[in-house]
Chain A
Amino acid sequence: DQQVKQNSPSLSVQEGRISILNCDYTNSMFDYFLWYKKYPAEGPTFLISISSIKDKNEDGRFTVFLNKSAKHLSLHIVPSQPGDSAVYFCAAIRPGGSQGNLIFGKGTKLSVKP
């Protein structure tokens, strides 16, 4: 039973345009969400996070939106750059508070074309 879902395995975007990566979750008890970027043969790199008490968080070119009623979050990258080409993982903090391990989606591979 997959609790965090990224339904698009891949996304291709032109340089300078907006990239929108989507993520859905099933457990309404999740209270914190994170996005990681991963290049081949490297570890995931933390990008941006959002608490369940907020609906938006922005950091430079990256904005995360959270829609709790729809159990949906999205990552917007504006403007997209070729260096953004990587696999992006959505993750949620496991409910129960005292555990803290991340529950990951299966990732979306973003390709930004020059």
Chain B
Amino acid sequence: GEEVAQTPKHLVRGEGQKAKLYCAPIKGHSYVFWYQQVLKNEFKFLISFQNENVFDETGMPKERFSAKCLPNSPCSLEIQATKLEDSAVYFCASSQWLYEQYFGPGTRLTVT
């Protein structure tokens, strides 16, 4: 597609439950990025992929967070055993090269 698609738009989970977020990048884009927006306007980089391979995971919390980009499937970001501090808006972005990135509308995760 011509836009980055993210589902669901909103997700509510009780503390300790699993959360799974999905992202379909723009067709033809090789790179996918996940960012977490917390505390008003702060964006935190989580992980990036080049096609189905992890490109950079330096921002990814080692515990509880995992991500995949498999061929012919949306990319996914999974949080095992969610905590209150995971409440945030999660944005996916895609790019053809490692410069301009195009963002999806985000998934708002609320952990109660």
Contact = CB atoms under 8 A, between A and B. Distances in A.
Contacts of B45: 101-103
Interface centre among A43, A46, A97, A107 (most CB of B within 10 A): A43
Contacts of B41: 87, 89, 104, 106-107
A24 B48 CA distance: 25
B59 interface: yes
B31 A100 contact: yes
A102 B3 CA distance: 19
Given A43-B91, A101-B56, A49 B99 contact: yes
B33 interface: yes
Sorting the interface of chain A by its residue count into under 10, 10 to 19, 20 to 34 or 35 or more gives: 20 to 34
A43 B106 contact: yes
Contact of B99 (A32, A41, A87, A103): A32
B103 interface: yes
A69 interface: no
A36 B93 CA distance: 13
Nearest to B3: A43
14 contacts: A42-B105, A43-B4, A43-B6, A46-B100, A46-B102, A89-B43, A98-B56, A101-B33, A101-B45, A101-B48, A102-B33, A102-B43, A102-B93, A106-B40
Interface of B: 4, 6, 31, 33, 35, 40-43, 45, 48, 55-56, 58-59, 91, 93, 95, 98-106
